[in-house]
Structure 1
Amino acid sequence: MALDTENFETDVIERSFSIPVLVDFWAEWCGPCKVLGPILEKLAQKYNGLFDLVKLNTDRFSEIAAQYNVRGIPNVKLFINGEVINEFTGAVPEPQVDEWIRKNIPGKNDKISLIKELIISGKEDEALGMLNQLKKESDNKEINVLLAQAILFKEPEKALSLTEGVEQGNMEVIDSVRFIGSLLSRYSKNELPEGVVKKEYIDSVKALKEKNFSKALEGFIDIIRNDRNYDDDGA
């Protein structure tokens, strides 16, 4: 079902961080728009949640149309993560629109690959929006592990709970999430053991929480040199 937007920022820009948004720029007087509109709505139903379809009346929202360089209608733009990824203009036949959608809108596997890239590059908030949408569609252990990675440094206890019972998959990643989650959780609760190197250990964990990984690593290496058995060899 198409949404006639009244709030472009919310319905398109913000929403596109969670799910691809296809925007149909149209007007009442535009004959070709009346041909393309039903095609887009039919394909939105066919792909059932792969993307949102939003309709924007260029007569009512001429400033937005100008902002996005809409020079002819119907014009269709694909927004992902707040940016226009691709577009086309004119009453394109249904088979071509269908092919364009399949080519430009990522499927589930493509989304998961993109999410992993976002997490690795430190863009956890962007990854989280996409993950929350995927979780609604398919609540499985792979998505839970990715969610745990995305929230690990902000909500370590919740990250730990998301990995409970997960014994298959990339166990190296899962074990790392569990170890770091446990460490950050105990740090936040002030449950780290007493010892000569406790202050240095706390400073290193704090650096880890702030994602200053080089500083954290240097600190943990020094702790191993001075007291390898501290926190049950936690460093």
Structure 2
Amino acid sequence: MPDTVSTFDFQQDVLAASHQTPVLVDFWAPWCGPCRVLGPVLDRLAAETNRWTLAKVNTDEHPELMAQYGIRGIPAVKLFVDGAVAAEFTGALPEHAVRAWLDEHLPSPARRTLAEAEALVAEGDAVAARARLEAVLEGTPDRATGETAHLLLARLVVFEEPERADALVRGLIGLEADAVRSLVALLLKDPDTLPDAPVRDTYALALRALQAEDFDAALTHFIQVIQRDRSYDDDGARKAAVALFQVLGEHDPVVQKHRPIFNMSLY
């Protein structure tokens, strides 16, 4: 049976307990019709598993918790992991939708490894991050975790292994996946085959710098092309700069150096 949490033991039974096992908290009230629909669904799902525990908070008795967690409508369901809200939804979802939501948001070994990889990328340790991502993909991660791992690994290997990066993002949609595909095309392009134009040599310098992973020089030359002939290679210089910004990230020093000049060059 789920716990009915008092104000006194919310800290222990939810926040502290969630460091060991995720805790799903159902914020409800006796007068709430949708709460009476959702409650039995959560009870059934909780009885099927030991991956998470269920706790119920009567918001009539504990309005301070309702205020603390910004609850404006009930039923409100919040998943606590490591002492914090990891995911939430409001309303009486059908059972199949709650199952799908739990599958998406419950922690798993693959998700923990992915989180470690993301932290390592933020710290600048690409080698260790790559090892974690390879480990995730060697297993059978859920779809969302797998797609994120494919995308992040593609960003890490695109300059060294463009063909593999292209394979990693195959079938993925979104700006980051498009950026990887754009960079793959540029990295595999032969500068000697570029069409004649006044900006040809500058564009070729940009491509060679990109292929040498000299991003500062690449962006300098791409922006020069934009300033002189933006239409060259089907707006290729602008697309290349945008792709680099996306893959390197807006906090990268090279991106921060060139982004303002790039923005001004578009107008």
Which has the larger share of helix? Answer: 2
Question: Which has the higher Rg, Structure 1 or Structure 2?
Answer: 2
> Whose RCO is larger (CA < 8 A, sep 6+)?
1
